[in-house]
Amino acid sequence: RLQTFTETQKRSRRARRQAEKKKFTIDLMKGNPIAVLTTYTSKLNKSRERHIHWAISWVTSSNKRVPHHLRVSAGRVLASLAWPDERIPGIRNRLWDTGATQKIICMARTGEI
């Protein structure tokens, strides 16, 4: 259910984050470009880190509630950020430490990415 707010109404931080995560999910599944991941301004560092965290959690999740299409889309985005050139410094180490690299390689072997 989507709620609309007027400008005078303030949403809580949690509600804003949930809306941001929902928009990110929809953009990933539709294949839309995600500007926050490719824009390298310092103002977006926290937001970029949040988006990367969500994508890694979707790729590594064994929960059946995460749609397979979302996992593949998140894996594709993370792979494009890490290989062949590391667009975000330290992303390869982060993917390796969380186990996302192995999942991405498995997706690539099966031709999903």
Tens place of pLDDT per residue across the chain (113 aa): 566 655 556 778 888 899 999 999 999 999 888 888 877 788 888 889 999 999 999 999 988 889 999 999 999 999 999 999 998 889 999 999 999 999 999 999 999 98
pTM above 0.95, yes or no: no
Q: What is the pLDDT of residue 73?
A: 94
Say if CB 96 and CB 104 are below 8 A apart: no
Where along the chain do its domains lie?
A: 67-113
Residue type, 49: E
